[in-house]
Amino acid sequence: MSEDKPTERKPVPPPGPAQNIQLTIDESEAQGIYANFAIIAHSNSEVILDFARNLPGLAKAKVHARIILTAANAKALHRALGDNLAKFEAQYGPINLGAPNDPEKSIGFRS
């Protein structure tokens, strides 16, 4: 069995005053988790993101990661994700979401 070794990632500045934060990531986290289904919930103080995999023909989806954010951090994530998707589409073209009004043909991320 191989030992997890930290992998260095380029620092990502948080919103607000510029700071240099050096991130490390273990090999197991660097592999990532595939999700094709997400559920977003919130309370008066937090936003909860559950990332799951839904396999064809199964009525159940298993949550593989839960991220809990403050509302302010969720909004910052929303902004950063929008900026990155705009850059992606500028480079690769529009992203097709399938048929949002037809659950059989749309992808699993819904609000």
Give the C-alpha separation, 9 to 12, whole Å: 9
Higher pLDDT, 52 or 107: 52
- pLDDT, one tens digit per residue, over 37-73 is 999 999 999 999 999 999 888 889 999 999 999 999 9
Higher pLDDT, 1 or 84: 84
Contact 95, 84 (CB under 8 A): no
Tokens read off for 96: 């097709």
pTM: 0.68
